[in-house]
């Protein structure tokens, strides 16, 4: 009996990263993957960072150690780390909003009405409100990132 | 656990993260009196004292969503029973370690651990 190859042979490059010459939803898929991995790795780093900063709050009944906290915040308050935080804001907002779009798509909400296949065979799913929702979430992600820039750089660093 | 159940939990924790993440961002910006004020020693202590258990719930949602997400991605790259089982257990161990380490931090902030 002939065996069936069920492995995902497209791999990371062709399967995920090569989104050019594909449709808009494929670009959103690639960005969802990249932002998810990025925010996930940041989360692990954030757990480590906060566990270090928590030492400032040991024995907090007697005042804790504000100096440890202040020193850590001084070390992190610069353009390099705040640029990193800004990327985290962009990635997390995009990932969250696109996640909501995906949940709606899976429930069949805002996808186009199904029609018999006819040339040029554009799937109905990318004709409906989902496409506008995708564009809207990208725009909203950038708007909220501008607000993040205001908080991190104008208020945070005093630019 | 069935993949469909894991996917449902992935969606539910995602919605939870969206709500609690928006709350976290708000506390670090306008609700905290601006970013500089929000990260001061006194503000952080006050926020943790008030919302420590909310952060614990946030940690639960994030740990599941992120490590299940990593598992799904790794299983998509390569298939095989042994590989899939190894990846699953690695993610369970890494997720548990991250969760316990984050819980320790929250308990310190709450004054439970000294």
CB-based contact (8 Å) between B66 and chain A?
Answer: yes
| Residue A85 covered by a domain | yes
Host domain of residue A106 = 11-155
CA separation for the pair A10, A119 (Å, rounded): 27
Beta-carbon count within 10 A of A89 CB:
23
SS (H, E, C) chain B: CCHHHHHHHHHHHHHHHHHHHHHHHHHCCHHHCCHHHHCCHHHHHHHHHHHHHHHHHHHHHHHHHHHHHHHHHHHHHCCCHHHHHHHHHHHHHHHHHHHHHHHHHHHHHCCCCC
Range of the domain at B69: 3-109
Asked if residue B12 has pLDDT above 80, the reply is: yes
Residue B96 lies in a domain: yes
Query: How many domains, chain A?
Result: 1
Using only C-alpha atoms, chain A has a radius of gyration, in whole angstroms, of 22
Quickly tell me which residue has 């050019």 as its tokens: A20
Best A7, A11, A40, A55 residue to mutate vs chain B (most B CBs within 10 Å)? A40
Which residue in A has a C-alpha nearest to residue B45's C-alpha?
A57
Compute the distance between CA of residue B38 and CA of residue B30 in angstroms, rounded to an integer: 9
CB contacts of A36 in chain B (<8 Å) are: 66, 69, 73
B114 falls within a domain: no
Asked if A39 is an interface residue toward chain B (Cβ–Cβ < 8 A), one would say: yes
Instruction: Kindly write down the DSSP assignment for every residue of chain A, as one continuous string.
Output: -PPP--S-TTHHIIIII--TTS-HHHHHHHHHHHHHHHHHHHHHHHHHHHHHHGGGGTTGGGT--HHHHHHHHHHH-SHHHHHHHHHHHHHHHHHHHHHHHHHHHHTTTTPPPP----TT---GGGTSHHHHHHHHHHHHHHHHHHHHHIIIIIISS--
What pLDDT does A10 receive? 75
What is the predicted pLDDT for the residue at A123?
Answer: 67
Quote the minimal CA–CA distance from A159 to chain B in Å.
13
Does A40 reside within a domain?
yes
Q: Which residues of A touch B69 (CB under 8 A)?
A: 36, 40
CATH number at residue A53: 1.20.1300.10
| Confidence (pLDDT) at A6 | 58
Q: In this structure, is residue A56 part of a structural domain?
A: yes
* Mean of per-residue pLDDT scores for chain B: 93
Does residue A144 sit within a domain? yes
Do residue B73 and residue A37 have CB atoms under 8 angstroms apart? yes
Residue B14 sits in a domain of what CATH number?
Answer: 1.20.1300
Interface confidence, given as ipTM, is 0.93
B102 CB near a chain A CB, below 8 Å?
yes
CA distance A25 to A140: 17
Residues of chain B found within 8 Å of residue A54, distances taken between Cβ atoms: 104-105, 108-109
Please tell me the predicted confidence (pLDDT) of residue B61: 98
Evaluate whether residue B92 is within a structural domain. yes
- Among chain B residues, the shortest Cα distance to A16 is held by B77
Give the distance from residue B1's alpha carbon to the nearest chain A alpha carbon, in angstroms. Answer: 21
pLDDT at residue B71, rounded to an integer: 96
Tokens (6 digits) for B40: 């001061």
Mutation site, B100, B108, B110, B114, interface A, largest A CB count within 10 A: B108
- Gyration radius of chain B's alpha carbons: 17
Number of domains in chain B: 1
- Test the A interface: residue of B4, B32, B35, B106 with most A CBs within 10 Å: B35
Q: Counting Cβ atoms within 10 Å, is residue A67 exposed (0-12), middle (13-18) or buried (19+)?
A: exposed
Is residue A6, in this structure, part of any structural domain at all? Answer: no
Residue B72 in any domain: the answer is yes
Which tokens belong to A18? 């090569």
> Would you place residue B31 in the very low, low, confident or very high pLDDT band (cuts 50, 70, 90)?
very high
Asked if the structure places residue B85 within a domain, the reply is: yes
- Please report the pLDDT score of residue A106 as a whole number: 87
Predicted local confidence at residue A115, as pLDDT: 75
pLDDT beneath 70: ranges in chain A: 1-9, 122-127
């Amino acid at each position: 009996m002939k065996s069936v190859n069920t492995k995902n042979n497209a791999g990371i490059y062709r399967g995920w990263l090569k989104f050019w010459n594909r449709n808009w939803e494929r670009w959103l898929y690639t960005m969802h993957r990249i932002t998810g991995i990025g925010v996930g790795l940041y989360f692990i780093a954030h757990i480590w960072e906060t566990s270090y900063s928590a030492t400032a709050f040991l024995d907090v009944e007697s005042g804790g150690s504000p100096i440890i906290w202040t020193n850590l915040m001084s070390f992190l308050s610069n353009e390099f780390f705040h640029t990193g935080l800004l990327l985290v804001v962009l990635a997390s907002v995009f990932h969250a909003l696109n996640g909501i779009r995906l949940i709606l798509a899976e429930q069949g909400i805002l996808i186009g009405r199904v029609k018999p296949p006819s040339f040029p065979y554009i799937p109905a799913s990318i004709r409906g409100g989902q496409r506008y929702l995708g564009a809207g979430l990208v725009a909203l992600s950038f708007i909220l990132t501008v607000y993040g820039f205001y908080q991190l750089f104008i208020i945070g660093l005093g630019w | 656990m069935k993949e469909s159940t894991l996917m449902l939990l992935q969606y539910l924790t995602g919605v939870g993260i969206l709500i609690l993440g928006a709350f976290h961002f708000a506390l670090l910006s306008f609700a905290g009196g601006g970013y500089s004020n929000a990260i001061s020693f006194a503000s952080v202590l006050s926020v943790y004292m008030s919302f420590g258990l909310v952060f614990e719930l946030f940690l639960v949602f994030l740990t599941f969503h992120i490590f299940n997400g990593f598992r799904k991605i790794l299983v998509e790259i390569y298939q095989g029973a042994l590989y899939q089982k190894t990846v699953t257990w690695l993610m369970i161990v890494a997720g548990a370690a991250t969760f316990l380490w984050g819980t320790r931090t929250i308990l310190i902030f709450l004054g439970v651990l000294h």
